[in-house]
Amino acid sequence: MNREKKILLEKLFSLFESRPSLLIVIHPDPDSIASAMAFRRLLLRKASKIQISYDEASKRLQNQAMIRLLKVPMTSIHQTRLSDFELIAVLDGQWNHFPALLDHKVNICIDHHPIAVEHPYQFADIRPHIGATSTILAEYLQLAKIQPSQPLATALCYGIKTDTDAFTRNMQKEDALAFAWLFPQADFYLFKSIDQVEMSARELEYFRIALDLLKIKRKTAFIHIGATPNPDILVMIADFLIKVREIEMAIVSGFEADRLVVIFRNRNPRIDIGKLAKKAFEPPGIAGGHKYSARAEIPNHLLPQGLEHSVGEKINRWLEQRLKSARAKS
């Protein structure tokens, strides 16, 4: 297995024989941020220039704390001239997850989500069975005999911890081995400083709204909270609900800007919510994830007429019907 991974790493390095410039594009959550930091370190002496760009500014306090405390240099992709870079890499996501890249060739993809759309990458390492992209990047550092700095080790530990939901979701042997290698090199107090910054008082108000709107039907919780300034609020609510004994699936939705965002959490072993969400909501939007967690995003103009102005009950019925139809076709 190590031989196969070494061959994979050599293939990646072969793209940098002429020292090209590299743009790394992420959606800035902990796993993506840590992966981007590690990828930059891995290629520091092989690329002429490396820039990390995000598709949307991070609104979640933990993510902001991570960027600030670890001093991660990032710029918006909307302020970046893509033609300035010879290679484009996407981490912890795939080409079709980044609207700004849809008219561009993406050369490199490293991800742990199921393959969404085929794309002619020059290099791809997509492992859906792995719990975090940070794990894959940690393996690369080990194979390249690169000792991570304390901030980088801390970031990768936090990326693994976050994407495996504190080692309880999709945690694999590879994730455990990577974390065991990284943790002695990490700063525990820095790790805690990032982890403790979870939400603002304003976000707490959405929990009150969510509990008022909560509907539980056959062990499935539905909440549509309407307009939200930050879709991460939906994630926090869904993560909270799935811990309730009587709930096996949580479906939390809200409108952010010009799209409907739907977060799924599941602990029914007979259901793969990632596959089900993809089948149910792609088209009209994009959707996918893992067996126990998934996400869908549907532009408002692709929703059934009038639904973008609807209250929760109508949205919940539409989501339920789409999921039911998708299951019937399985």
pLDDT at res. 44: 94
Domain spans of the chain, in order of start: 2-196, 201-329
Cβ density class 139-161: b for 16+ within 10 Å, e for less? bbbbeeeeebeebbbbbbbbbbb
Are 2-196 and 201-329 in the same CATH fold?
A: no
The winner for highest mean pLDDT among 92-106, 176-190, 294-308, 309-323 is: 176-190
pLDDT at res. 1: 54
Q: Helix H segments across the chain?
A: 2-14, 30-42, 61-69, 133-143, 150-163, 173-182, 188-196, 201-213, 232-241, 273-281, 312-329
User: What tokens does 255 get?
Assistant: 């409108």
CATH number for 2-196 (one of 3.30.70.20, 1.10.3720.10, 3.90.1300.10, 3.90.1640.10): it is: 3.90.1640.10
Provide the residue type at 22 as one letter: L
> Do residues 57 and 76 make contact, with C-beta atoms less than 8 angstroms apart?
yes
pLDDT at res. 167: 80
- Mind listing the pLDDT tens digit for each residue in 203-244? 788 888 898 889 898 899 999 998 888 888 898 899 899 989
198: confidence class by pLDDT, cuts 50, 70, 90? low
pTM value? 0.72
- Mind listing the pLDDT tens digit for each residue in 125-166? 999 989 999 999 999 999 999 999 999 999 999 999 988 877
CATH topology classification for 201-329 = Diaminopimelate Epimerase; Chain A, domain 1 (3.10.310)
21-26 and 293-299 strand pairing: unpaired
Asked if omega into 284 is within 30° of 0 (cis), the reply is yes
Calculate the alpha carbon distances from 171 to 129, 228, 317 in Å.
9, 30, 33
